Amino acid sequence: MQSNKHLLLSLGLMLLCLVGLRAQEDRSVVLPIMPVGDTLQAPDFTVLMQQDSISETAVQQDTLPPASGALTDQVRYKAKDSIRMSQREQRIYLYNEAEIYYQDIELKAGVIVLDYVKNEVYAGRLKDTLGNYSQLPFFKQGSQEVTPDSIRFNFDTEKAIIWNSRTEQQANAGALGSEAMKVYAERTKKENDSVYFMSEGKLTTSKDTINPDYYIRIRKAKFVPGKKVIAGYSNLYIADVPTPIALPFAYFPLGVGRTAGVLIPTFGNDPQRGYFLQNAGYYLPISDYVDLSFNGDIYTNGSYGFRAQSVYAKRYAFRGNVNFNFENLITSQKGFSDYARNTIYRIQISHNQDPKASPNSRFSASVNIASSQFYRNSLLQQNLPNTQVNNLNSSISYSKTFPAYPRVNVSLTATHSQNTNTEAVNVTLPTVQGSMERIFPFAKREGIKKGVIQNINLQYDFNGQNSITTNMDDFLTGAMFDNARLGARHRIPISTNFKLFKYISATLGGSYEDIWTWDTSQRRFDEESQTIVRDTIDGFDRFNQYSLNAGLGTTLYGTFNFGEDKKIQALRHTMRPSINYGWAPSFDQFYEEVVNEATGEEIFYTRFENTLFGTPRQTQSSSLSFTLANTLEAKVRDKDSTATEPKKVMFLNSLNLSTSYNLEADSLKLSPVNLTGGTDLFDRKLRVNFGASLDPYAIDNNGRRINTFNIDAGGGLFRLTSARLNLTYSLRSSDFQNKDQDGQVDPDNPYDGDTYVAAGGGRTDGLFGSARDLNQGAFDDRDPDDVQNPSWSSKIPWNLNLTYALNYTNVNREGRISNNVLMFSGDIELSPRWKVGINSSYDFVLKGFGITNLRFDRDLKSFKLNFDWSPFGRFERWYFFIGIKASILKDLKWENRSQPNNFN
């Protein structure tokens, strides 16, 4: 009896201690959530409470051993305002910034109620006096996160009921990266770690989860986090307005990483080829390093297209892609007079090796082979700008370096060059090259080399080729090898340099060549045809030749000072004149004579004619060449009064003159004077390049040059035979917005117009149009929500590119302008979500416009709208597209196009 009294007294004291642990109990609010009866009866258990090191409220840990069915781990919890335990209700109440941690489960909310008998927890929001809710529950288990309005969770069964849940699932986005699919449901039942059942849900990729601009409404669905959503009847809502786009059931993949799947086609009607399915196919991720996709087009008149693409990459090793396109184009129907069938193809291969993979060897490939009419007749809209491409080039090479002294480089290359207008194809299959670095046999490897002897140096290089010249009909067939030429050249250049009178640089040198060939020829008089015929002789043969050269050069400076108080303080003119002499003997021992017995004509020929590396010199050559290079720069007073030094401005980047004099010729010894130059104006925004050819000799009535100076024939000192002018101008709105207080343009944004050629053909400046896939958005790299609309009206981004080309021809005194074209392209963003672009050209000789393309892009937040229009010309067409930007739902789109006006 006494022991029972002590036991009762201990329990009473423990109860008083637990009650006394309350902090600010008078401000605690009980979560108004009525528990719903569970069909499964949870066993009783005792909660193990461990005090959190960062909790502001002391929590006592229970020392009683856990009963059967109790939690298998400790439950840690804390709250900012109060933690209250009710023995009568067998619950613990946590108020304001409440948190509970159990194994991999994390729960945060404004109010949390823990029922330690049913092993359940209830979490909800806080509501202030104005009726506003805050501190929404946050539930995390493993990598899955849910933000609901309220949640009921059972620790024992790990089942949960969630109201108004919101979660994000990272979905595949292909080349665009990872995208988040937002999943919302009014009521969700968590069955286990991997299965959720949802009622009245919404799926969207919109950034605005509270009021999305679009969503897919699903009535009932099974949700597997990180993998998929399988839904019943679903339809698309735009701005909360239902659309007729609906499906009786739907499947949404949510897996992170690449997964195989069907590529949804585009439906349409082509007036010339009938109804079609375009871009239907299948995507297959083969491994972590390579994938493969197939897609194609089919038309009801029998036309079809097939495309295959593979992208591969391995970090610190290599990356590349392979593309193959084939299209079978049928016009009209069999039996009609206008029936035609044409096949076109394109092969593109790109491979780049990481320099870290192998410092002394490298393999690279850039292949671009296509039918001559591929870009002009292709069914794909994105090939339109490449219709102006006239040359296709390819190269596959492997190089190896042997770093030991003297360093040797060896390379093996296969090249391809194709003209789409003439259909001429040149192939080297392969080219073998080898070279040895420059060595100085009479000087030490280290230190400064002085004098003529120590500066004597020599090199060695080897070039072997199998050159093929063919056409598109014979290309990639056995007939292309019929005219193959095989040859090799060994060359050893020797040179030295030294100073004369301190200011003149002198060079002496020579070159020895040894030419090998495997095909020679022989001429003979044919008695039957009474003509000279040529016979091909198979077998190895060779010839050698050598030459000598010498040169003098110096640099002259002329400075003109105008005073520090002038705007232009000084001018400096730099001249670099040089004169070179070259001599080479004749090698007439390699020439033979054949007599045409029918006419008595004597013909000299060499058996090496039409070989790969040319023929031996038949006559001795001795010539002088002269070049003069000029630059002009100025010192200009800086507008910045704090600047201590004047600015340097380049007025003339280059002005070069060159000509030569043939000492061995009996007439017309002077060559035409070639003049080239270039400069940049207006802060390097206007690039100017010009050139001209000036002939000192006159011409006769037949337009042939005669050995009479033009000035002696009544003309000027020189006769202008040709001239060219190229102007390239680039201007953008940022050029006016990035100026500092003194009006100077930001030097970090200079204009560079050196290279415009794109890797796959065409130009990168948009003058021929933009070779884009309209299924990719124009605003993907920019978030217009971050742009402030009020300032947009005064800072409308725009850019303008202009190129003007003028060619003048006067070889026979025709005085004709052969080329006079203005090309232009530009874009303007009328608003953060409106972008308009144009590219076109005008030919002043033919008096007509070239290919013209108008582009309209509209960003609709989650959607994008594109419209491309070529209003006239051979490629007159239009294309309209609207669809969801997120790649996971990119098949929710609509596109339409006109009939392209193509012909061969």
List pLDDT tens digits, range 716-730.
Answer: 899 999 999 999 998
**Residue 137, token pair as written in the block:** 């529950």
Q: Are 526 and 597 in contact (CB under 8 A)?
A: no
Find residue 417's DSSP bridge partners.
393, 426
pLDDT recorded at residue 844: 93
Q: Is the pLDDT of residue 379 over 80?
A: no
pLDDT 10s digits, 24-50: 333 333 434 444 434 333 333 223 233
Question: CA-CA distance, 329 to 900, in Å (whole number)?
Answer: 13
Q: When comparing pLDDT for 764 and 801, which is higher? A: 801
Range of lowest pLDDT (103-107, 384-388, 855-859): 384-388
Q: Within a 13 Å sphere around the CA of 281, how many CA atoms are in the beta-carbon half? A: 15
Q: Give CA–CA dist 854/837, Å, rounded.
A: 6
- Of 318-327, 382-391, 694-703, the one with minimum mean pLDDT is 382-391
Q: Of 384, 469, 349, 378, which Cα lies nearest the Cα of 418?
A: 469
Cα gap 491→44, rounded to integer Å: 95
Among 181-195, 648-662, 734-748, 824-838, where is mean pLDDT lowest? 734-748
Asked if 295 and 280 touch (Cβ cutoff 8 Å), the reply is yes
Q: What pLDDT, on the 0 to 100 scale, is given for residue 899? A: 64
Does residue 774 or residue 425 have the better pLDDT?
Answer: 425
- In the chain, domain spans: 21-141, 159-257, 687-897
- pLDDT tens-place string over residues 791-815: 444 578 889 999 999 999 998 888 8
Report the C-alpha gap between 532 and 207 in whole angstroms.
Answer: 82
Per-residue model confidence as pLDDT tens digits over 298-337: 988 888 999 999 999 998 899 999 999 999 988 877 878 8
Predicted local confidence at residue 65, as pLDDT: 46
Q: What is the pLDDT of residue 255?
A: 67
**Which of the pair, 423 or 398, is modelled with greater confidence?**
398
* Of 150-164, 178-192, 564-578, 587-601, the least confident: 178-192
What pLDDT was estimated at residue 483? 83
pLDDT at 491 over 90: yes
Residue 777 is predicted with a pLDDT of: 43
- pLDDT of 51 higher than 80: no
pLDDT one-digit tens code per residue, 509-519: 999 999 999 99
- Percentage of the residues of the chain whose pLDDT score is greater than 90: 34
Q: Per-residue pLDDT averaged across 758-783, rounded?
A: 49
What is the pLDDT, as a whole number, of residue 439? 93
Model confidence at 91: pLDDT above 70: yes
Q: What is the pLDDT of residue 675?
A: 96
pLDDT band at 173 (very low <50, low <70, confident <90, very high): very low
pLDDT number for residue 226: 77
What pLDDT, on the 0 to 100 scale, is given for residue 765?
A: 54
- How confident is the model over 769-775, as a mean pLDDT? 53
Count CB neighbours of 336 within 10 A: 9
Beta-strand runs (E) in 232-373: 234-238, 241-247, 250-253, 261-263, 266-270, 274-285, 290-299, 304-314, 318-331, 340-353, 361-370
Q: Which residue has the higher pLDDT, 391 or 411?
A: 411
pLDDT, the chain, mean: 81
Residues 169-197: b if buried by 16+ CB within 10 A, e if exposed? bbbbeeeeeebbbbbbbeebebeeeeebe
Query: What phi, psi does 436 have (nearest 5°)?
Result: -115, 140
CA distance 232 to 357: 51
More confident residue, 258 or 479: 479
Q: Please tell me whether residue 790 adopts helix, strand or coil conformation.
A: helix
Residue 752 has pLDDT above 70, yes or no: no
Lowest mean pLDDT of 119-133, 204-218, 427-441, 634-648, name the range.
Answer: 634-648
Judging by beta carbons within 10 Å of its beta carbon (0-12, 13-18, 19+), is residue 898 exposed, middle or buried?
middle
Q: What is the mean pLDDT of residues 718-744?
A: 77
* Top-confidence residue, 813 or 783: 813
Rounded percentage of the chain residues whose pLDDT exceeds 70: 82
Distance CA 806, CA 727 (A): 9
Higher pLDDT, 395 or 764: 395
Mean pLDDT over residues 171-185, rounded?
A: 62
Residue 657 has pLDDT above 90, yes or no: yes
- pLDDT, position 356: 86
Tell me the pairing of strands 340-353 and 361-370. Answer: antiparallel
Q: Return the higher-pLDDT residue of 827 and 268.
A: 827
> Dihedral of the CA atoms 779, 781, 784, 785 (nearest 10)?
130
Check residues 684 and 172 and name the one with the higher pLDDT.
684
Write the pLDDT tens digit of every residue in 550-586. 999 999 999 988 887 788 889 999 999 999 999 999 9
Residue 238: predicted pLDDT: 87
Residue 32 pLDDT: 42
Question: CA-CA distance, 633 to 11, in Å (whole number)?
Answer: 99
pTM listed for this prediction: 0.67
Any bridge partners for residue 516, and if so which?
488, 542
CB-count exposure of residue 854 (10 Å: 0-12, 13-18, 19+): middle
Q: What is the pLDDT of residues 231-280, one digit of tens each?
A: 989 988 888 889 888 888 888 877 666 778 788 887 777 777 888 888 88
Region 21-141: CATH code = 2.60.450
Give all strands (DSSP E) within 403-456, no chain letters: 408-419, 424-439
Average pLDDT over residues 887-894: 77
Residue 12, phi then psi, degrees to nearest 5: -65, -40
Cβ contacts of 130 within 8 Å, gap of 6 or more? none
Question: What is the average per-residue pLDDT within 760-787?
Answer: 49
Q: How many CB atoms lie within 10 A of CB 508?
A: 16
CA–CA separation, 95 and 100 (whole Å) = 12
